[in-house]
């Protein structure tokens, strides 16, 4: 009987060892990819690894489960501790902003959406705008079709500017008078709108942007140049400033924090894990590349990712306070 059971037991042990080594290999590969992404500020190739923190965490959790199954508890504990540390430092979940009302604060809403240049469905967008009732609207990937359709908004948003140049076309709409509107070209044919609006008691500046997607080394350099030019444009603004757009960068990129520091802006998201904006086709692969940033003279009330309106990006909404200065 002992001789008959020996071979199956040996086979089970061999299979267990193979599975263990596969887990070790998967663990090493995942950590290596994560560390490569930390160098995304100096190299295009390394930058390709930086957006996928959520996938790395999911992989590490799966690996830790594998260690538990084969009863390698010490390896499971180490993997869980490393996963927790990465999540703690890269996926901050902040407490929701608390509304503090006073006579010196005006509550405002700003919405941003990359429309998707091949999206020709207008009804859901207009219904969303009617429902949310924002004070400011920023839109990108505005081609000729949207350049015409968006004119339907002017009844409620009489102050607007549309630059319908296709994949990098931009548009801005406001309930408040626009004193100045400047079309900026930070890099070749990549536009932004710099808008100065007049509120009842003060002025506010908002900028609508669409940075190049870093799909090649040349476009990665263009994206970085775009952000650098944007930072120089807004960092010494005499009026409170809000910057919105599809920036094709995640908070996990080393460049992200450096940009915000240079531009004197701050992030408005409360979570990098759940408030992803692209792509709408996959929640697992979704990453936050659309952002609304503000300077310290404005106060955050709340940030939301809204329902899809037939784009490959989700709309994002910021509720904020303009404090009288």
- Sign of the Cα torsion 164, 166, 169, 175 reads positive
Burial of 155 (0-12, 13-18, 19+ CB in 10 A): exposed
Do residues 191 and 154 make contact, with C-beta atoms less than 8 angstroms apart? no
CATH superfamily of 105-323: Endonuclease/exonuclease/phosphatase (3.60.10.10)
pLDDT band at 92, cuts 50/70/90? Answer: low
Do residues 79 and 67 make contact, with C-beta atoms less than 8 angstroms apart? yes
State how far the Cα of 202 lies from the Cα of 195, in Å rounded to an integer: 14
pLDDT digits (tens, 9 = 90+) for 226-265: 999 999 999 999 999 999 999 999 999 999 999 999 999 9
Comparison of pLDDT for 111 and 274, the residue scoring more: 111
For residue 211, how many C-alpha atoms fall within 13 Å in the half-sphere facing its CB?
29
pLDDT digits (tens, 9 = 90+) for 138-159: 999 999 999 999 999 999 999 9
Q: Which of 5-9, 14-18, 81-85 is least confident?
A: 5-9
Q: How many CB atoms lie within 10 A of CB 83?
A: 19
Q: How far is CA 233 from the centre of its chain?
A: 21
Per residue, what are the HEC states of 35-81? HHHCCCCCCHHHHCCCCCHHHHHHHHHHHHHHHHHCCCHHHHHHHHH
Cα-only R_g, the chain? 24
pLDDT digits (tens, 9 = 90+) for 119-136: 999 999 999 999 999 999
**4-to-12, 15, 142 alpha-carbon distances in Å:** 14, 18, 73
Query: Does residue 96 register a pLDDT over 50?
Result: no
pLDDT digits (tens, 9 = 90+) for 176-185: 999 999 999 9
**pTM tops 0.95, yes or no:** no
Instruction: Measure CA of the first residue to CA of the last residue in the chain; give whole Å.
Output: 88
What is the pLDDT at residue 91?
73
Count helices and strands in the chain by DSSP H and E runs: 8, 12
Q: Which residues of 107-121 are buried (b: 16+ CB within 10 A; e: fewer)?
A: ebbbbbbbbbbebee
pLDDT band at 62, cuts 50/70/90? Answer: very high
pLDDT digits (tens, 9 = 90+) for 251-307: 999 999 999 999 999 999 877 777 899 999 988 889 999 999 999 999 999 999 999
Q: Which of 90-94, 197-201, 321-325 is least confident?
A: 90-94
What is the DSSP-derived secondary structure letter of residue 213?
P
What is the pLDDT at residue 19?
92
What is the pLDDT at residue 57?
95
* Helices 2-37, 53-69: crossing angle, 10 deg rounding: 160
Query: Does residue 165 register a pLDDT over 70?
Result: yes
């Amino acid at each position: 009987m002992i001789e008959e059971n020996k071979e199956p037991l040996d086979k089970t042990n061999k299979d267990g060892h193979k599975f263990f080594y596969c887990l070790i290999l998967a663990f090493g590969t995942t950590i290596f990819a994560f560390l490569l992404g930390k160098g995304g500020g100096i190299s295009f190739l390394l930058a390709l690894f930086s957006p996928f923190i959520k996938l790395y965490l999911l992989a590490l959790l799966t690996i830790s489960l594998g260690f538990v199954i084969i009863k390698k508890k010490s390896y499971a504990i180490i993997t869980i501790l490393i996963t927790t540390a990465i999540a703690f430092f890269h996926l901050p979940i902040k407490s929701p902003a608390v509304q503090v009302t006073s006579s010196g604060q005006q509550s405002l809403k700003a919405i941003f959406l990359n429309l998707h240049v091949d999206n020709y469905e207008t009804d859901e967008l207009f219904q969303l705008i009617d429902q949310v009732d924002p004070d400011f609207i920023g839109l990108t990937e505005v081609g000729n079709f949207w350049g015409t359709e968006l004119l339907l908004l002017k009844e409620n948003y009489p102050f607007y500017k549309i630059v319908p140049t296709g994949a990098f076309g931009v548009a801005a709409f406001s309930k408040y008078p626009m004193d100045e509107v400047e079309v900026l070209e930070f890099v070749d044919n990549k536009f932004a709108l710099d808008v100065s609006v007049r509120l009842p008691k003060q002025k506010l500046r908002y900028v609508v942007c669409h940075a190049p997607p870093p799909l090649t080394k040349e476009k990665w350099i263009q994206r970085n140049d775009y952000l650098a030019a944007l930072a120089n444009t807004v960092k010494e603004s005499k009026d409170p400033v809000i910057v919105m757009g599809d920036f094709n960068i995640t908070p996990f990129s080393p460049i992200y924090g450096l940009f915000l520091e240079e531009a004197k802006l701050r992030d408005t998201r409360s979570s990098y894990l759940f408030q992803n904006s692209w792509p709408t086709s996959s929640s697992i692969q979704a990453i936050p590349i659309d952002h609304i940033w503000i300077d310290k003279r404005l106060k955050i009330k709340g940030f939301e990712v809204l329902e899809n309106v037939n784009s490959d990006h989700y709309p994002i909404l910021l509720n904020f306070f303009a404090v009288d200065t």
